[in-house]
Amino acid sequence: MKDPVILILVLLFGISFGSFLNVLIYRLPAKESLVKPPSKCPNCGSKIRLYDNIPVISYMILGGRCRHCNKSISLRYPVIEILSGLLTVYAIYSFGFTLRGIEVVFLSLVFLAIFFIDLDHTIIPDIFTIPGIIIGIAVSLLPGSIVGWKQSLIGMAVGGGAFILVGMLGRIIFKKEALGFGDVKYAAMVGAFLGWKNLILMLIIASFLGSIIGISLIYLSGKKGKSTYIPFGPFLTVGAWISIYFGDYLIKAYLELAGI
Ligand SMILES: [Zn+2]
Contact 170, 181 (CB under 8 A): no
CA 115 to ligand 1 center in whole angstroms? 27
Half-sphere exposure of 200 (CA within 13 A, CB side): 9
CA 46 to ligand 1 center in whole angstroms? 6
CA 40 to ligand 1 center in whole angstroms? 8
CA 59 to ligand 1 center in whole angstroms? 13
Going 114 to 117 to 122 to 126, the CA torsion angle's sign is negative
CA distance 143 to 137: 12
Over residues 143-163, the mean pLDDT reads 93
The mean pLDDT value of the chain amounts to 90
CA 73 to ligand 1 center in whole angstroms? 9
CA 38 to ligand 1 center in whole angstroms? 14
Q: 47 - beta bridge partners?
A: 40
CA 17 to ligand 1 center in whole angstroms? 23
CA 83 to ligand 1 center in whole angstroms? 25
CA 117 to ligand 1 center in whole angstroms? 23
Among 56-60, 87-91, 143-147, 214-218, the least confident range: 214-218
pLDDT range class, residue 225, cuts 50, 70, 90:
low
Among 38-42, 72-76, 157-161, the least confident range: 38-42
CA 44 to ligand 1 center in whole angstroms? 4
Q: What is the pLDDT of residue 148?
A: 96
CA 63 to ligand 1 center in whole angstroms? 13
pTM: 0.90
pLDDT range class, residue 227, cuts 50, 70, 90:
low
CA 234 to ligand 1 center in whole angstroms? 30
CA 62 to ligand 1 center in whole angstroms? 12
pLDDT range class, residue 172, cuts 50, 70, 90:
confident
Q: Which of 214, 224, 2, 211 is nearest to 96 (CA)?
A: 2
DSSP-assigned letters across all residues of 168-225: HHHHHHHSS--S-HHHHHHHHHHHHHHHHHHHHHHHHHHHHHHHHHHHHHHHHHT-TT
Among 14-23, 138-147, 209-218, the least confident range: 209-218
Q: Which of 6, 14, 15 is nearest to 93 (CA)?
A: 6
Contact 56, 81 (CB under 8 A): yes
Q: Which of 168, 202, 185 is nearest to 125 (CA)?
A: 185
pLDDT range class, residue 177, cuts 50, 70, 90:
low
CA 28 to ligand 1 center in whole angstroms? 22
What are the φ and ψ backbone dihedral angles of 47, each rounded to 5 degrees?
A: -65, 140
Structure-model confidence comparison of residues 76 and 173, the more confident one: 76
- Using DSSP, state whether 145 is helix, strand or coil: coil
Over residues 200-215, the mean pLDDT reads 90
Q: What is the pLDDT of residue 163?
A: 77
